[in-house]
Chains A and B, each alone.
Chain A
C-alpha cells in the first residue's frame, strides 16, 4: 500500500546550519507530495507541496523536489533559525479515494542559538 517513510530524528542543529530531512514514498500512480509543519502547541499547517515529477515546492526558505526516479521528496533549508523548531511531516496524496492522504511519522527539529 501507499506509505511515506521519513527520518526519525530528533534533529538538533545550530542556528544558520543546513537542514535536510529525508522523505521517501511508496505509491501507485502519480501522487502529490507535501510537507506539513507543526509548531509547538499548534496543529499541522501546509509548508510546501509538489504535484508532479521534478516540481520543486518552496516556502519560507524551505525547498523540496519531487524525484520520481528515487521516490523521494527531501526537505532542505540553507540556514535554519530558532523559529524553525517544530515537527515536520512528509505526506502524499494519491489521486482517488477518501482515505487518500498518508503521513510519515514526523521529524522533530530543534534549532539552538
Chain B
C-alpha cells in the first residue's frame, strides 16, 4: 500500500458540478498539503494543514474548499469550477511543517487529473 493515496485518479466535470478529491496518508504524518500542477508552471501550493488546522490558504479561489477531518485524511471540495482549473492536483504529507525529520521531504500521492468542461 502506497504512503499517500489519492482518489479518483481521473475526474471530468462540468462547470456546475460539485465533486470532491480525496487524499489519505498511511505514514503517521502531521502535515498535509494540496498542490496544483499545471503545464510549464511551478507547482502551486494551495492549502496546508498541520494537525488538522489550516495554516496556509494561498489565495485560492473559494470554489476550492479543503477539509481535513483528521490527520490521515484530506479532501478538496470542488464547486463551479472553470476550464482553467483543469490540472493535476497533488496531495502530499510530511512529518511536520518543516518536512520530514532529517530530509525535509514531502511524500506525494499520484495525483488526481481534473478536467473541467
On A, residues with C-beta under 8 Å from B are 3-4, 8, 32, 34, 36, 41-46, 49, 51, 89, 93, 98-106
Contact = CB atoms under 8 A, between A and B. Distances in A.
A64 B90 CA distance: 25
B97 A100 contact: yes
Contact of A99 (B58, B90, B110): B58
A43 B111 contact: yes
Nearest to B44: A103
16 contacts: A8-B40, A36-B108, A41-B110, A43-B4, A43-B92, A43-B108, A43-B110, A44-B92, A44-B108, A49-B105, A93-B99, A98-B97, A99-B58, A100-B98, A101-B99, A106-B43
Nearest to A95: B98
Given A43-B90, A44-B90, A98-B55, A103 B43 contact: yes
Given A43-B90, A43-B110, A99 B45 contact: yes
B98 to A, nearest CB: 7
Contacts of B109: 43
Interface in B65-101: 90, 92, 97-99
Interface of B: 4, 6, 40-43, 45, 48, 50, 55-56, 58, 90, 92, 97-99, 103-111
Contacts of B99: 93, 101
B2 to A, nearest CB: 9
A93 B99 CA distance: 9
A61 B42 CA distance: 25
Contacts of B111: 43
A48 to B, nearest CB: 10
A102 B90 contact: no
